[in-house]
Amino acid sequence: MMLAITAAVVLVLGALGVVAIAKGDSTASGVVTTTVHVTLSEFKIILDPAIVPAGNVVVEVHNIGSVEHNLSAKSLGLKTPNILSMGSATLSLGKIDSPVDFICEVPGHAASGMKATLRIGVANSSVTPTTAVMSAAQMDKAMEAVALKFPAKTKGVGNQELAPKVGADGVKEFDLTASIINWEVEPGVVVKGWAYNGQIPGPVIHVNVGDKVRIVLKNELPESTSMHLHGIRVPNAMDGVDPYTQKPILSGESFSYEFTALEPSVGMYHSHHDAQVQVPNGLAGAIIIGDWKALAMKAAGTKVNDTNGKAEQEVMMVLNDAGTIGLSLNGKSFPATAPYSLKVGETMVVHYFNEGLLTHPMHLHQPSGLIVARDGKLLDAPYFADTINVAPGERWTVVYTAQDVGVWAWHCHILTHAETPTGMKYMVTALIVK
């Protein structure tokens, strides 16, 4: 409620175009001091006003987001400390006579859209609002319009399973190429994504326990990279942490990661070089060792009301919240996220992978999920939960058995990660039960 109230206050202030312009001391040669109200959220910086007269500027910063943010004017060498959700800070810019660029310096946030420019113009107490208040009817219409677009078509699909090349020695080889591509996150929103094999997330790698595996990574990025097999037992030399276990893979070069799949695992492969940029921008994918559809159902036992004791689907759901991709499920933002479907009595095994910077409480309206594994390790006592906190780097394996017909919403329960005043957005999809 506090978030909603604060956001509403900010919207009203913006709509009224409230600007605090105070004359400087009469002995200060008539220098004007302007107060700019800045609101931070995921992932926006809103300035009110966005144009000020030359002179002294004081910035009042308010974080209405759900996570920490800061405000940095790098050209001036000034920034606020990290501001907690619902917190505030003041930044005095001094006397300025040219535009000032602002960003949030929390890793990945600027690339996700937290940038703004304060411009210099003629002093005017009548400022065009940077925010607006919709009527209830306008909000209803906007929300319905975006909901009816689901599932919207976009170019590019991630998580496609990659078939290996099997050599004469029995080694399963997977070829990956890292490059920058145009990636459509939602209809009409195309960003520069960092991709493996032109996919975000990268292709799914699936092998069996005992397989000898070789992953050949070719670097077509404009900078070096490396790859860490997160949650997978590998020799230290294959851990992908340059410069300790290998040299960085230079642009135009390749490196082979070789290991034997020793145990059932639910892992991720991702960059470990300039990772705060490369991973949120898309350089991540799922790697599965073993038959987790069977393992999960065996762990579930009689706790679920499945009709045949078998899982019909295995779903990889990669969570992101930063970089050029931003808040997304499998590289897409609602209404471009992919829906899922089951018949009553059917089961799907879902692996949540968090490759973002924030924790995401994932919530499927129905049915409740039976958590059977965390980070690729089966639990001794699986338990039911309808909201599952997935922290950065974690993998949770959940069994969902459809029980009731309907279209069931499925989303991150940090509400600013799932909805805006104009409707559902970002980390939202649906399970359709027939």
Element (H, E) at 275: helix 275-278
CA quadruple 179, 277, 267, 318: dihedral, nearest 10 = -90
DSSP per residue over 59-84, as a string? EEEEE-SSS-B--EEGGGTEEPPPB-
φ, ψ at 422 (rounded to 5°): -105, 15
Q: Find the DSSP H helices in 95-162.
A: 136-148
Among the listed residues 221, 210, 209, 212, the one whose alpha carbon sits nearest the alpha carbon of residue 174: 212
Out of 2.60.40.1120, 2.60.40.420, 3.90.1570.30, 3.30.1330.10, the CATH code matching 165-433 is 2.60.40.420
Q: Which residues share a beta bridge with 165?
A: 173
Q: Which residues share a beta bridge with 385?
A: 369
pLDDT tens, the chain, 434 aa long: 444 444 443 443 333 333 333 333 333 456 678 899 999 988 889 998 889 899 999 999 998 877 789 999 999 999 999 998 888 999 999 999 999 999 999 877 887 789 999 999 864 433 343 444 678 898 899 999 999 999 999 999 999 999 999 988 899 999 999 999 999 999 998 999 999 999 999 999 999 999 999 999 999 999 999 999 999 999 999 999 999 999 999 999 999 999 999 999 999 999 999 998 999 999 999 999 999 999 999 999 999 999 999 999 999 999 999 888 989 999 999 999 999 999 999 999 999 999 998 899 999 998 889 999 999 999 999 999 999 999 999 999 999 999 999 999 999 999 889 988 889 999 999 999 99
In the DSSP assignment, the letter for residue 251 is: T
In the DSSP assignment, the letter for residue 395 is: E
Among the listed residues 226, 223, 119, 187, the one whose alpha carbon sits nearest the alpha carbon of residue 332: 187
CA quadruple 190, 159, 430, 141: dihedral, nearest 10 = 0
Question: What confidence tens digit (pLDDT) does each residue in 363-374 have?
Answer: 999 888 999 999
CATH architecture of 2-120: Sandwich (2.60)
The domain segmentation of the chain, as residue ranges, is 2-120, 165-433
Question: What confidence tens digit (pLDDT) does each residue in 60-99 have?
Answer: 999 887 778 999 999 999 999 999 888 899 999 999 999 9
The two tokens of residue 176 are 């990956």
Question: What confidence tens digit (pLDDT) does each residue in 386-406 have?
Answer: 999 999 999 999 999 999 999
Name the percent of the chain lying above pLDDT 90: 75
Question: What confidence tens digit (pLDDT) does each residue in 105-149 have?
Answer: 987 788 778 999 999 986 443 334 344 467 889 889 999 999 999
Fold match, 2-120 / 165-433: yes
Residue for token pair 């145990």? 263
Q: Which residues share a beta bridge with 360?
A: 390
